[in-house]
């Protein structure tokens, strides 16, 4: 069976671009920050090959985010707080991924969504491994590899477990991405609401408990759905690469 490594190009580009930045002291208290874009591109090339070897893949695909994000139209505060400085050569490195490594992107999708659609699209004779350090990927069923946790090697996430993780993030929110989830609900409360993951059956059965938690917090189902749409990494039935149409997640 053919194995394809599907790599989160956003994080790879950010990390490798950042690693090339070097502070330079010119004397008289004058400092500048130096970055070698050529070096960053070489680091990216080597890293992608390393990942291919690490998961014993026959080939790899890379995904990067587009300029816009469909979630901001639904919840304007999504990632609004991310105002820090980005690595100087990040733009050049992402272009390198697109032109040399044929990285896939779509106008309003994040790399996560592209990978989620790829990973869940049925293909005979193909085994896919999602490669990222982002915990959000555990909401996608399939094989996963986290290069920050190489001891784990490849981990398989079942569809039930992925759905459970998706509802967990719907409840807890994600401060990194800037959506709050259900007020007052952390991981332990989310587990109490959803029950043990081993006993989880389906989103359909668990959704009333999610809504109940939101209502208890003074909100309603509509607000719960918005948070779920923030937490949802798109799967194959939720995006059409030909028409670029997004089918937002709904409980029905």
pLDDT tens digits along 128-155: 999 999 999 999 999 999 999 877 789 9
What does the alpha-carbon distance between residue 133 and residue 117 come to, in Å, rounded to a whole number? 18
- Cα 113 to Cα 234: distance, rounded to the nearest angstrom: 5
Q: 164: how many CB neighbours lie within 10 A of its CB? A: 26
Burial of 25 (0-12, 13-18, 19+ CB in 10 A): exposed
CATH 3.30.1370.160 fits 2-157, yes or no: no
* pLDDT for 81 beyond 90: no
The dihedrals phi and psi of 245, each to the nearest 5 degrees, come to: -85, 135
Candidates 37, 31, 34; CA nearest to 21 is 34
**DSSP single-letter state for residue 139:** G
Write down the pLDDT at residue 63: 98
Contacts 24+ apart (CB under 8 A), 220-226: 221/251, 224/170, 224/182, 225/249, 225/250, 225/251, 226/74, 226/75
What's the average model confidence in pLDDT over 5-24?
A: 97
Q: Tell me: the pLDDT tens digits for 91-137? A: 999 999 999 999 999 989 999 999 999 999 999 999 999 999 999 99
At residue 7, the pLDDT reads 98
Show me where the domains of the chain are located.
Answer: 2-157, 159-231
Q: What is the pLDDT of residue 80?
A: 86
Output the pLDDT for position 61. 98
* pTM of this structure: 0.93
Half-sphere exposure of 248 toward its Cβ, with a 13 Å CA cutoff? Answer: 14
């Amino acid at each position: 069976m053919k194995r394809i490594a599907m790599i989160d190009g956003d994080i790879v580009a950010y990390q490798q671009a950042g690693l090339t930045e070097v502070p330079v002291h010119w004397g008289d208290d004058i400092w500048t920050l130096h970055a070698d874009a050529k070096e960053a591109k070489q680091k990216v090339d080597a890293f992608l090959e390393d990942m291919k070897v690490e998961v014993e893949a026959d080939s790899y695909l890379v995904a990067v985010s587009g300029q816009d994000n469909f979630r901001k139209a639904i919840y304007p505060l999504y990632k609004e707080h991310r105002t820090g400085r980005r690595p100087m050569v990040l733009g050049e490195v992402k272009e390198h991924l697109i032109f040399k490594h044929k990285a896939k992107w779509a106008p309003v999708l994040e790399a996560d969504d592209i990978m989620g659609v790829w990973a869940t699209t049925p293909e005979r004779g193909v085994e896919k491994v999602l490669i990222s350090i982002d915990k959000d990927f555990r909401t996608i069923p399939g094989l996963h590899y986290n290069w920050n946790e190489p001891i784990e090697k490849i981990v398989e996430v079942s569809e039930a477990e992925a759905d459970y993780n998706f509802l967990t993030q719907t409840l807890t929110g994600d401060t990194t991405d800037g959506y709050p989830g259900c007020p007052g609900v952390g991981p332990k409360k989310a587990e109490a609401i959803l029950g043990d993951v081993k006993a989880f059956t389906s989103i359909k059965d668990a959704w009333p408990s999610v809504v109940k938690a939101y209502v208890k917090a003074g909100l309603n189902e509509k607000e719960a759905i918005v948070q779920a749409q923030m937490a949802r990494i798109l799967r194959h039935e939720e995006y059409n690469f030909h028409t670029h149409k997004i089918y937002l997640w709904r409980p029905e």
